[in-house]
Structure 1
């Protein structure tokens, strides 16, 4: 059985396989940029490489599903599920190469872990069920593509088998819910990142906000997050959807999107938060003249809402400001893993001993009394950062322009 998904959908294909109590492999391909491994020892060359297509395959025994996977040979999907069980396995290149020659490698990897007693059968069954659900979710969302079902011997050994009808009913419900989240959430591979910490903190319990800050790190996709937490992906997406609608959480298409042209260059990016516009202008001027990239914001609430996106490498923060003072900002940032070790220098017109003690108690790295001179500011910053102009790989285009553009865009949103 083979054909085009424009002629028959995945749901109907699975129902036919179940009705006929078939044993074999279903192979599906659609346009995407992934490699697909060999499906089995008897497969022809046409299945060995999907080129620029994304591939999935589902294995059946007497009309029941025993395993399903995508075409990723990196084993990262299985490692994500192992992370939930607090199991970390280090494979050397020789072991990885050997697994990639097996069919399919992910399934062989799972059985290797079972044989070595690294995981138990209950954990393995749970992981297989999750892999099947994840694969069927992707397949049921396909609008076009090609498929081939080939009758053949069953994948061995078998650990579990899932009846198609109940799994299919559950996954169809998930797809229907998923479509309601569009266009705010468009792909399981989108990456959440905090965009407005102030509103999150005012609307959610501190425990929830801390969890969001921990996971929405600009590196972990929604799909990976669901694996790590062993949560149903659609339920997770539905839970985070209201915050995305509000603009408090943003979704990135890929990891490089969060900081265009900033990934390496941001190592020398300094953010100044001070409600005095004259101080902001002075700090920007001094630091840029010394080869640093700097931007100053006079609204502390705006600064806090942007800081998790901009990710500065050093923060200069005034203590006395309306709405949100420097102590509060510093304390909030220190609760985030992303800013636990970022230097935070407090700026104040006060010279009192108690102010210094309080700054230290909330996690400030250092203290600078206003008014300060050019050299005083530069010496203090150089204590924690190296000016970019002293490096051999100097940038041709100033970072500050792209940062300003970024601030404008985020503020408008």
Structure 2
């Protein structure tokens, strides 16, 4: 009787099959649909192209150079999985962490006239120059003054083939290691010598209670004059990134016709240093302010406290970069906030730049958004040597493109501009 009932009833194996079918329909099909949707969106993004708007001054030489730079003309195509500004920032942070383990630079320590020490990171093109520079690391002489310079000078090719020297002014919390990809690109692709100028407090702790977020003009001029003594026949070009663009732009404007550089590229700059601090997105402002306290204040707390304890506490209580700069003048040797910005703000001298200069900005920049920076497109009407490149995407100082984010449009723009300018 039991056997008959089992035969006439529903088989346990049939129950399992029904459950498996139901699970497949309820779980697998929705997931498959989501996967198809994701792939469709990705394919659409892969085909998206963001046009670039270029504004060029009236100078015929500059116009000719821009016409020979394809990266200024062709549409920007970011990776589909990282077309947003914060996604590109994550890529940059990962690569910066990864590159800290690499040893492609030789590090030179330089003593400034007031006794403070800063450093420069050098990278030379593959060949005898790079071998000579890296030998300084092997011999333990990389921190000796002039050791790397002497190695470079001795192995420089003949005068007809002297390579350009690209001097990089990095962002507010960067040093040479963070720019490894860019420096390697410039040396291996272009054959240039690259020197990353690390400002006070960036690569080395402060021994004197003096710093600011963009760099000191006197320090930069000292470095340039020192390099000119050794490399009298080389052409110098400047690249400023984020805060470094303020340092470079201010130098270009102040120096005018006496500028030691042949030209410059300013990537993700804020134009007006004072006003740009008011336009940072809330999240970027929070992140940068927190990092500024950790990077400058905590690392140098003892040194800064001896100089001005109350001033240090006011900086620690800052809740935005605008508030941070309200009190920063006490550690820059300035009597007031107004004097601080009068000394460092590049917006006051942009009209006086007497060398070809390119400004590159993205609308989705979270630090200096396009609704603020794009209004400076009219600068080309006042400065005939200026070229302004506006991109809808690219983030802050990143501009990664291709499916694997393996290249940066900013890298390409710098290479083409410097190469064309050097051939003029």
TM-score range, shorter chain: under 0.3
Greater relative contact order (CA < 8 Å, ≥ 6 in sequence): 2
TM-score (norm: length of structure 2):
0.23
Q: Which has the higher helix share?
A: 2
